[in-house]
Protein backbone atom coordinates (compact mmCIF):
# COMPACT_ATOMS: atom_id res chain seq x y z
CA UNK A 1 0.00 0.00 0.00
CA UNK A 2 1.10 3.54 -0.75
CA UNK A 3 0.27 6.86 0.91
CA UNK A 4 -2.03 8.72 -1.45
CA UNK A 5 -2.79 11.64 0.86
CA UNK A 6 -1.36 13.13 4.05
CA UNK A 7 -4.31 14.51 5.96
CA UNK A 8 -4.28 17.36 8.46
CA UNK A 9 -6.58 15.46 10.81
CA UNK A 10 -8.74 12.36 11.07
CA UNK A 11 -11.86 14.02 9.68
CA UNK A 12 -10.10 15.18 6.54
CA UNK A 13 -8.60 11.72 6.02
CA UNK A 14 -12.04 10.11 6.14
CA UNK A 15 -13.46 12.68 3.72
CA UNK A 16 -10.72 11.92 1.19
CA UNK A 17 -11.06 8.16 1.76
CA UNK A 18 -14.81 8.47 1.12
CA UNK A 19 -14.12 10.34 -2.10
CA UNK A 20 -11.77 7.60 -3.26
CA UNK A 21 -14.19 4.82 -2.30
CA UNK A 22 -17.00 6.58 -4.16
CA UNK A 23 -14.81 6.42 -7.26
CA UNK A 24 -14.07 2.71 -6.90
CA UNK A 25 -10.70 2.92 -5.15
CA UNK A 26 -10.34 0.98 -1.92
CA UNK A 27 -8.79 3.32 0.66
CA UNK A 28 -7.59 2.81 4.22
CA UNK A 29 -7.17 5.55 6.83
CA UNK A 30 -4.20 5.00 9.10
CA UNK A 31 -3.12 6.77 12.25
CA UNK A 32 -6.24 6.54 14.40
CA UNK A 33 -4.37 5.49 17.52
CA UNK A 34 -1.40 7.77 16.98
CA UNK A 35 -3.67 10.79 17.00
CA UNK A 36 -5.17 9.70 20.33
CA UNK A 37 -1.77 10.03 21.99
CA UNK A 38 -2.15 13.81 21.73
CA UNK A 39 -5.40 13.87 23.71
CA UNK A 40 -8.63 15.46 22.60
CA UNK A 41 -6.95 18.17 20.54
CA UNK A 42 -6.82 17.23 16.86
CA UNK A 43 -3.14 16.59 16.21
CA UNK A 44 -1.97 17.11 12.67
CA UNK A 45 0.15 14.92 10.50
CA UNK A 46 -0.60 11.53 12.02
CA UNK A 47 -3.30 10.38 9.62
CA UNK A 48 -2.70 9.22 6.08
CA UNK A 49 -4.90 7.73 3.39
CA UNK A 50 -3.44 4.56 1.91
CA UNK A 51 -4.36 2.90 -1.39
CA UNK A 52 -3.13 -0.13 -3.29
CA UNK A 53 -0.07 0.39 -5.47
CA UNK A 54 -1.98 0.04 -8.72
CA UNK A 55 -4.54 2.69 -7.65
CA UNK A 56 -2.01 5.31 -6.54
CA UNK A 57 -1.92 7.40 -9.72
CA UNK A 58 -5.70 7.55 -10.10
CA UNK A 59 -6.13 8.32 -6.38
CA UNK A 60 -3.71 11.24 -6.54
CA UNK A 61 -5.48 12.61 -9.61
CA UNK A 62 -8.85 12.47 -7.83
CA UNK A 63 -7.46 14.18 -4.74
CA UNK A 64 -5.85 16.91 -6.85
CA UNK A 65 -9.15 17.53 -8.66
CA UNK A 66 -11.00 17.62 -5.35
CA UNK A 67 -8.58 20.16 -3.88
CA UNK A 68 -8.75 22.30 -7.00
CA UNK A 69 -12.54 22.40 -6.86
CA UNK A 70 -12.46 23.16 -3.13
CA UNK A 71 -10.18 26.13 -3.73
CA UNK A 72 -7.58 25.12 -1.16
CA UNK A 73 -4.77 26.30 -3.36
CA UNK A 74 -1.90 24.24 -2.01
CA UNK A 75 -2.05 20.54 -2.73
CA UNK A 76 -1.39 18.08 0.06
CA UNK A 77 -1.06 15.06 -2.21
CA UNK A 78 1.66 12.77 -0.91
CA UNK A 79 4.25 13.29 -3.61
CA UNK A 80 7.30 13.38 -1.38
CA UNK A 81 7.63 17.15 -1.40
CA UNK A 82 5.59 17.90 1.72
CA UNK A 83 6.79 15.75 4.60
CA UNK A 84 6.59 18.60 7.10
CA UNK A 85 3.98 16.77 9.18
CA UNK A 86 6.12 13.63 9.30
CA UNK A 87 8.98 15.82 10.48
CA UNK A 88 6.91 17.06 13.44
CA UNK A 89 5.79 13.53 14.26
CA UNK A 90 9.39 12.32 14.33
CA UNK A 91 10.43 15.11 16.69
CA UNK A 92 7.44 14.43 18.93
CA UNK A 93 8.29 10.73 19.17
CA UNK A 94 11.95 11.53 19.79
CA UNK A 95 10.99 13.89 22.62
CA UNK A 96 8.77 11.21 24.17
CA UNK A 97 11.61 8.68 23.99
CA UNK A 98 14.02 11.12 25.67
CA UNK A 99 11.56 11.85 28.45
CA UNK A 100 11.05 8.12 28.99
CA UNK A 101 14.81 7.58 29.21
CA UNK A 102 15.20 10.40 31.72
CA UNK A 103 12.37 9.06 33.86
CA UNK A 104 13.87 5.56 33.78
CA UNK A 105 17.19 6.95 35.00
CA UNK A 106 15.57 8.95 37.82
CA UNK A 107 13.40 6.12 39.13
Q: For the chain, how many structural domains are there in total? A: 1
Spatial distance between the Cα atoms of 1 and 75, rounded to a whole number of angstroms:
21
Instruction: Report the alpha-carbon distance of residue 27 to residue 13 in Å, rounded.
Output: 10
Give the domain extent around 90: 2-106
- Note the pLDDT of residue 74: 47
Whole-model pTM above 0.75?
A: no
Mean pLDDT in order along the chain per 10 residues (107 residues): 85 90 92 60 70 92 85 53 64 89 89
What pLDDT was estimated at residue 58?
A: 93
Instruction: Compute the distance between CA of residue 88 and CA of residue 17 in angstroms, rounded to an integer.
Output: 23
Amino acid sequence: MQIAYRARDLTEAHIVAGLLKANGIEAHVGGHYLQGAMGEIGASGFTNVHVEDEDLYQARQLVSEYEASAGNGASRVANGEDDRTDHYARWFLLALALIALILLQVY
